[in-house]
Amino acid sequence: MRKSFFRHLHPQRLSSRRASFFNTFCLGGAALFFFVVLTFTGILLMFVFPPLPDQAANSITDLDSVVPFGSLFRSLHYWSGQAMLLCVLLHMTRVCVTGSYQPPRQLNWLVGLGLLCLTVGLDFSGYVLRWDLQGRLAAVVGVNLVREIPLVGDAFANGLLGGDPAQPQGFLHWYVWHCIVLPQGVAILSLYHFWKIRKDGQIAPM
């Protein structure tokens, strides 16, 4: 059962040209690796980072100076986030340049765009959660950008982002997005993305 599960995730047939490092640069796999690191370090950070706006900034200071290995795990979390975003951007660029979005892979291209948006959301919401001056200003910018969406902007800003970023519920909304909603979205779309690669099929045996 375990063997069939991994076969289901990984293509059974793969063109040697497509599998070469200089064709793929392993960018998709690298992005997935950094997401796993983000998940692991993020879970550890949740034990010491309370979802309370009046304690967020002090918690980061404690992470860097008091909590054992706190600075290490925070640095791993931060740089893995930047590396994941860079890998996804480069991966999407490579797909555009090589024309890999063409049929029958156009749906997977849209899934990749969705993953890019979720990755940007993860990076941005993580920046907000620092809740220092820059983080609070970023929250204001994010809420105001959402309000610009025609017809549903105000409803989304108030319902999904908590409205006024200065209020405690605003911080909690960003926390839920960063720690629960967006990571689950990335995990689900990534599983579908890899499954779709296998489903679309390749050319020659590996």
Q: What is the pLDDT of residues 31-87, one digit of tens each?
A: 999 999 999 999 999 999 988 888 888 888 888 888 999 999 999 999 999 999 999
The tens digit of pLDDT for each residue in 7-18 reads: 555 555 555 555
Q: Which residues contact 11 (CB under 8 A, 6 or more apart)?
A: 197, 198, 201, 202, 206
11 located within any domain: no
Quickly list H helices, 148-200: 153-160, 168-176, 182-200
Domain that holds residue 161: 25-98+106-197
How far apart are the C-alpha atoms of 107 and 102, rounded to whole Å?
A: 9
Average pLDDT for residues 12-26, to the nearest whole number?
57
Q: Is the pLDDT of residue 202 over 90?
A: no
Residue 19 within any structural domain of the chain? no
CATH code, 93: 1.20.810.10
Query: How many structural domains is the chain composed of?
Result: 1
Whether 120 maps to a domain, the answer reads yes
Q: Is residue 7 part of a domain?
A: no
The residue with tokens 């720690």 is 179
pLDDT, position 206:
26
pTM of the model: 0.84
Name residue, tokens 């930047």: 82
Residue 112 lies in a domain: yes
- The model's pLDDT over 126-182, given as tens digits with 9 standing for 90+, comes to 999 999 889 999 999 999 999 999 988 899 998 888 877 767 788 999 999 999 999
